[in-house]
Structure 1
Amino acid sequence: MTLPPDIPQQQPASTGRIFNGLHSAYFDGDAPVPHDVTLMVETQRRVLEIGLPASTTAGVHWPLDEIRVLEDTAGQEGVILRWIGDPLARLHLRDSDVMRYMHHLGRRAPPKGRGRLAVWAFAAVAAVAFQVGVLVPLLANQLATYVPAAGERALGEATFGQIRQALAGTGLPPLPVCENEKGVAALEKMLVGLGVERGTDDAIKIFVLDHEMVNAFALPGGYVVFFRGMIDAAQSPNEIAAVLGHEVGHVANRDPTRHALRSAGSIGILGLLFGDFAGGAAVLFLTEKLISANYAQDAESGADEFAYIALEDANVSPAALGDMFERLRDEYGDTDGIVSHFVSHPTLTSRIERSREAAHATGEYGDILGDPDWAGLKNICN
């Protein structure tokens, strides 16, 4: 609603109390009953005092600068005012002289309760962060011990298939698995040398995917996956054995299952917040999380310690793990690029140092594979 053209936009020079005996109707918002009131403008305090009937013990005070014209009041004579501090109360004026003291009638009122809204928003974000960062990992750690072996294998098999398809691209055949017989036999020999149980339904299953990524990771259900790029980057079979021992350590500690449960829990919470997050986007997110899994510091340290013991028992220097990490660090950096798979909170530098401290044997270490087996492994994708 526009103001009548005869209303002055300047405040009167008077600074005293001006009384107006205007005939007006006030609605308090509690009942649809108008109250006949008198108005008094206090120019010094810049307050409009609304005098209620004698039966009412107290009047109403509206700051002049916080009074607004209520728009869209078709069929009403005069104007209807409101105070931004009370969303329900209304003042119906049939004489607009008093409006000369109100200088912000057409200004948009600021949102009510911004501070409270900010507090609630912060609390909501904190609650989500607490669930994702504390509750979900805690529940995942507990639930991982109750997941049956068959369920883990089914999850690992399904995830392995998704990874192969995701890396190949939409509409293309899944990423091929390298199956050169001599290379597969060399991996089996390496597993036996590391003391890994073979020949049972629960035995670890190892695969090499024909991809240039320098990476290796473990999946639920005893799946260990290497990329061809990791084997190409290794300069000795002991380096592959060290990485394999690390991933076997993750399997033994059920870290992939915990990680999958954490990711699934996080996806569920995000789905509640942002809508349907359980389709293809969720699958791709979970796949990416499992490929580039950065486990917690204790999980990484535990897998490293498992590898050190397995390598020592196989008469292989634990420093081989540090040799691989050092070369990757020099080429890709300590925390960036593909090498970030091997980094959670422990840095590569600290893990290199620990691997060399673990190499405490007085005699000479040997190689886990001979030259013919190593050559077969290097050509596993040919």
Structure 2
Amino acid sequence: MIGAAPIAATFFDGQTAQRHPVLVSVTSDGSGLILDLQTGVAPWLWPLTRLRALGDQAVVNALTLTLQSDSDDESPRDPARLVITDPDLMAWVRLSAPQLAKRDVRRGTATKIITRLALAVASIGVIVFVILPRMSDFLADRMPLETEVKFGRAVVSQMKYLLGAGKSGTLACNNPAGEAALNRMASRLMDGQELKYAISFSVLDHEMVNAFAAPGGQIIILRGLLDTSDTAEEVAAVLAHEIGHVEARDPTRLMLRAAGSAGIVSIVLGDVTGGSVIGIIGDQMLQTSYTRKAEAAADEFGLAMLQAAKVDSAAFADFFDKLSGLEDGFVPPEYLSSHPSTSARAARARDFAAAQTGTTPILTDAEWQALKGICKG
């Protein structure tokens, strides 16, 4: 192209939308392009080393060029544009311009991006770990009971789905003798108690060693908990602990916190419809982890309930000891996966049991066996 006649092209000055006809030629040494607008102004030199090609332009079968230039933009480029449609000139520029496809970034941009990202992460952290907990506490104490119960049912349905209810049936265990034994245990624990919730109990056929309280007074027991327990008193201790969480509205606080966190995740991931929110809440409820204060309060509530029902609280300690010795990889109940430590809680239960008198079995041997077999037939 060196020495070739000037070629017609189109020039945009970047200041107006006006198109300017321009004649483009190659310098004698082949180091750049000469742009002559034929307006009496001296021709401009566009060095090949500073030429950059722009993609996604409206003109097809054309090469749109700009110049690398210092600017306040993140991509430092001159606002002017040169549109070439001559095939030979386009081919020569593509072959000769050494950094035609380079994506320039203004100096300091990486630092600026990292700083902004760090601030964004810090802001999300403040929202998730400071603002959301306080908001969830505020809203939990003011949520109407009917709303709490409805939301709890939706969360339980999602938890059942996560546990495989959609693949293997309902998972509900409803052997009549087992249900009768569970009702007897619940009545023994709750008789004479002034509870704020009409608490319901159900068992799901799943091997996970777990029991959890959902918003609205729903307590779910998984078969793995029954299989692992050696006595009915161990199960009763777990249920008393979960009732303590219900009465303190801990599941509702956790649900609101999870909903807020899930909402943030949905926005970050682009799920503006919120479709993932209920799924994240269900998963969070299955892996419940309350605060140290909430766990300690639920423990004390459970021990007091066992005392009022004349149930030996040493079973609570026995259950802690049993679970702490299980193999790696098992999923522990929420009250074992959080603070305070298992050994400290077991010691507290034993100390409490040492002062108990007049305790009696919460179920007969036959009732206990019926409860353990609630998922059979």
TM-score, length-normalised on structure 1? 0.70
Equivalent pair of 2:203/2:222 in contact (CA under 8 Å): yes
Corresponding residue of 2:330: 337
1:264 partner letter:
A
**Which residue in the other structure is 1:58 paired with?**
none
Equivalent pair of 1:183/1:380 in contact (CA under 8 Å): yes
CA deviation after TM superposition for structure 1 residue 81, in Å: 6.4
Does the aligned pair in 1 maintain the 2:312–2:356 contact within 8 Å?
no
**Residue of structure 2 in register with 1:158 after alignment:** 154
Contact 1:190 1:369 in 2 (8 A): yes
Is it true that 1:248 corresponds to 2:243 in the alignment? Answer: yes
CA distance in 1, matches of 2:192, 2:200: 11
Counterpart CA distance in 1 for 2:296 and 2:133 is 18
AA at the equivalent of 2:258: S
Question: Is it true that 1:370 corresponds to 2:364 in the alignment?
Answer: yes
Q: Is the 8 A contact 2:68 2:104 kept in 1?
A: no
Could you say what secondary structure the match of 2:361 adopts? coil
**Alignment match, 1:149:** 145
Report the counterpart of residue 327 of structure 1 in structure 2: 322
Distance 2:355 2:194 in 1: 31
Q: How does 1:270-289 map to 2 (within 5 A)?
A: 270-276=265-271, 278=273, 281-289=276-284
Conserved? CA contact 1:204–1:223, under 8 Å: yes
Residue type of the alignment partner of 1:276: D
- Taking the aligned partners of 1:150 and 1:235, their CA distance within structure 2 comes to 37
**What are the superposed Cα offsets for residues 192-248 of structure 1, whole Å, 9 maximum, x if unpaired?**
222357999941000011222211100011100101111111111110110010110
The answer to whether the aligner puts 1:130 opposite 2:117 as a matched pair is no
* Worse-superposed segment, 136-145 or 153-162: 153-162
CA distance in 2, matches of 1:81, 1:130: 40
> What letter matches 1:349 in structure 2?
S
- Aligned partner of 2:180 among 178, 185, 190: 185
Determine what percentage of the aligned residue pairs are the same residue. Answer: 35
- Measure the CA separation in 2 of the matches of 1:88 and 1:377: 75
What is the alpha-carbon distance in structure 1 between the residues aligned to residue 157 and residue 52 of structure 2?
A: 62
Q: 1:81 to 1:133 in 2, by over 3 A?
A: closer
Look up the equivalent residue of 1:125 and give its one-letter code. Answer: V
Secondary structure in 1 matching 2:326: helix
Kindly state the Cα deviation for residue 249 of structure 1 after the two structures are TM-superposed.
0.5
**Is the CA contact 1:197–1:204 (under 8 Å) kept in the aligned structure 2?**
no
CA contact (8 A) 1:332 1:339 kept: no
- Displacement of 1:71 in angstroms is 3.0
Alignment match, 1:259: 254
The count of aligned residue pairs is: 308
The aligned amino acid for 1:297 is R
Higher CA-based Rg: 1
Amino acid of the structure 2 residue aligned with 1:324: F
3-state SS of the aligned residue for 2:339? coil
Listed one character per residue, the Cα deviations across residues 123-163 of structure 1 (whole Å, up to 9, x for unaligned) are: 00100111111111110111001111111111222222232
Task: Answer whether contact 2:241 2:302 (CA < 8 A) is retained.
Answer: yes
Matched-pair contact (CA < 8 Å) for 2:68–2:77: no
SS in 2 for 1:206: strand
CA contact under 8 A between 1:192 and 1:198: conserved in structure 2? no
How far the C-alpha of 1:323 sits from its partner, in A, is 0.7
Q: 1:226 aligns with which of 221, 224, 232?
A: 221
Distance 1:105 1:205, change over 3 A: closer
The SS at the match of 1:338 is coil
Q: 1:161-196: per-residue Cα shift (whole Å, max 9, x none)?
A: 232233235465322x22222222222222222235
Q: 1:269 pairs with 264, 273, 284, which one?
A: 264
Shift of 1:82: 3.0
Distance, in Å, in 1 between the alignment partners of 2:151 and 2:191 is 21
Corresponding residue for residue 294 of structure 2 = 299
Determine if contact 2:307/2:356 at 8 Å carries over to the other structure.
no
3-state SS, counterpart of residue 331 of structure 2: helix
Alignment of 1:1-382 (within 5 A): 69-72=50-53, 82-83=69-70, 87=76, 109-112=104-107, 113-168=109-164, 170=166, 173-175=169-171, 177-196=172-191, 202-276=197-271, 278=273, 281-332=276-327, 337-339=330-332, 341=334, 342-361=336-355, 363=357, 365-382=359-376
Instruction: Provide the C-alpha distance between the structure 1 equivalents of 2:219 and 2:147, rounded to a whole number of angstroms.
Output: 17
2:259–2:278 contact (8 Å) kept in structure 1:
no
Within 2, Cα distance between the matches of 1:125 and 1:157?
33
The answer for the alignment partner of 2:7 in structure 1 is none
> Residue 69 of structure 2 aligns to which amino acid in structure 1?
R
TM-score (norm. length: structure 2): 0.71
Q: Deviations over 1:282-317 (max 9, x none)?
A: 333221111221111111111111111111122223
Asked if 1 retains the 8 angstrom alpha-carbon contact of 2:266 and 2:276, the reply is no
- Name the SS of the counterpart of 1:369 in structure 2: coil
One-letter code aligned to 1:354? R
